[in-house]
Chain A
Amino acid sequence: MNVKHFIEDKLLVFEISEEIDHHTSERIRKRADYEIQRFMPRKVIFDLEKVNFMDSAGIGLIIGRYKTANDFGGNLELANVNHKLKRIFEMSGILKIIPIIDNYSNEQTG
């Protein structure tokens, strides 16, 4: 997992590159919560472009970070969600509250 923080935009991006299951999600959760508490971003983006496997642990991971982001005054979005991941998110209904965005590079004004 790669963490990018854009101070000007109060944006925190997590680029996930590992498979997301019950085993790996615990480590991702700890790191993400630490970074959110540290930077208190206005927006958190989970970039899932490099995720080639995700099971239902991903749903819990995203809902949990959505709550953390909210607790610290920010919101959360998902980026680069392929159709396999989208199918799993859709089943849980979380896309009603968490938006999927196509691109966030234009937000990185630096």
Chain B
Amino acid sequence: MKNIKNEMKMEFSSKSANEAFARISVAAFASQLDPTIEEIADIKTSVSEAVTNAIIHAYPNKDGIVKVKALLYDEEIEIEISDTGEGIENIEEAKTPLYTTKGNLERSGMGFTIMENFMDELKVESIVGLGTKITMNKKINKNKALENTY
């Protein structure tokens, strides 16, 4: 059983200006685990991908709410990004590199591939008409010098 050290939740409108807000907020929260710059960059990119997906695909023609939850364990972060939008019909297809339904928006179809590469675990749950939940985990090893000096 993993021990939860800290937890945060936030929600915001599905506006593209919030993509930066979301990734910066999660990165700031994750910094409590003392990650490397590299690990923080991986987290920021993955959050940006998941939140952008929710904004573009979950709510294509209207504003909706995007929820972000983050849990900190001893040496791991878990991030959950969910929406109550359109849902994904075929998750395997959506995860295929370069697959996109929004080529007109110059989307590259690399979002899930990046999340899978930058995080240690990725889980996608979706029900058409009800919404999508992305859960991703990343190990943050704390084998760094001078820990717990307080």
Total number of residue pairs linking A and B with CB closer than 8 Å: 67
Q: Of the listed stretches B88-96, B106-114, B135-143, name the one at the interface; the rest are far from the partner chain.
A: B106-114
A84 contacts B52, C-beta separation under 8 Å: no
- Known contacts A84-B41, A92-B98, A21 near B20 by CB under 8 Å: yes
Q: For the complex formed, measure the closest distance between the CB of A102 and the CB atoms of chain B, giving whole angstroms.
A: 22
A56 contacts B114, C-beta separation under 8 Å: yes
**Interface size of A by Cβ–Cβ distance < 8 Å?**
21
Q: Mark A52-89, 1 if CB is under 8 A from B, else 0.
A: 01111101110110000000000000000000100010
Q: Is the interface of B mostly helix, strand, loop or mixed?
A: helix
B48 contacts A21, C-beta separation under 8 Å: yes
Q: Is the interface of A mostly helix, strand, loop or mixed?
A: helix
A21 contacts B52, C-beta separation under 8 Å: yes
Q: Which residues of B are in contact with A by a Cβ distance under 8 Å?
A: 16-17, 19-20, 23, 38, 41, 44-45, 48-49, 52, 55-56, 97-98, 105-108, 110-111, 113-114, 117
